[in-house]
Amino acid sequence: MAGVLISFIADWLSCWPLPFGVLLRQLKNTVQRINKMPSCCSSPSEKKSKTSKRDCPTCGQQSLSVSLKTMLHHIKQPWTYHFTDEQFYFCPNTGCDVVYFSVTNKIIAQSCIRTYHQDEILLNDELVCFCFGVKKSEATVNKDIKDFVIEQTWQSMCSCEYANPSGRCCLKDFPKFK
């Protein structure tokens, strides 16, 4: 609704003298660009299927399904595991020892993950963007970092689907600026 209103105002005022008309046209173009922003973290197969949810067997946190391909990018020595077709889930609770689990309660603990660093989690300085290695402490003090990540996402340069252990977009994990 807000996009339609901005578009209407921009069209209505586009005949006004510069620079106000130019500013509004730029605003309209920006809104259109954001509305058309591609989904950075979805493969075609994930777009077709629904994401399933399940509670973590250890902490009870609601967890979303994750692809095997994503898991293989984060597990230490993935060649030692023998995965079947069963669905795995990612537990988002950083305080829980479980990172991935299956319906049959196969568990992959934090100690088996090469991308989670318990020391960073304890210091509350975990990665908020796995694609570009952005830590929470960096993103909190520099708003330009999120703008950079948004731009890279727009350019399809991110790899959240595989780089983020959850297999989902990192942008939602950035701290909010007031």
d(CA 141, CA 156): 25
**pLDDT confidence of residue 167:** 86
**pLDDT confidence of residue 155:** 87
Q: Are 165 and 130 in contact (CB under 8 A)?
A: yes
**pLDDT confidence of residue 114:** 82
- Under CATH, which architecture does the 51-173 domain have? Single Sheet (2.20)
Angle between helices 20-35 and 2-13 (to 10 degrees): 150
**pLDDT confidence of residue 39:** 54
> 98-102 and 62-66: which strand pairing?
unpaired
Per 3-state DSSP, what percentage of the chain is helix, strand, and coil (rounded to 5)?
40, 15, 45
User: Phi and psi dihedrals of 82, rounded to 5?
Assistant: -125, 90
- Integer-rounded Cα Rg, in Å, for the chain is 20
Q: Where are the domains of the chain?
A: 2-35, 51-173
pTM for this model (two decimals): 0.63
**pLDDT confidence of residue 42:** 46
Sign of CA dihedral 97, 80, 71, 137: positive
pLDDT tens track, the chain, 178 positions? 455 445 555 554 555 555 556 555 665 665 555 555 555 544 444 443 456 999 999 999 999 999 998 898 889 888 888 888 889 999 988 889 999 999 888 999 989 988 765 545 545 678 888 888 888 888 888 889 999 999 988 888 888 888 888 888 888 888 886 5
Helices (H), 36-82: 44-48, 68-72
d(CA 13, CA 25): 9
Contacts of 177 (CB under 8 A, 6+ apart): 143
- Looking at 7-164, which runs of residues are DSSP E strands? 53-55, 62-66, 88-90, 98-102, 107-109, 127-129, 134-135
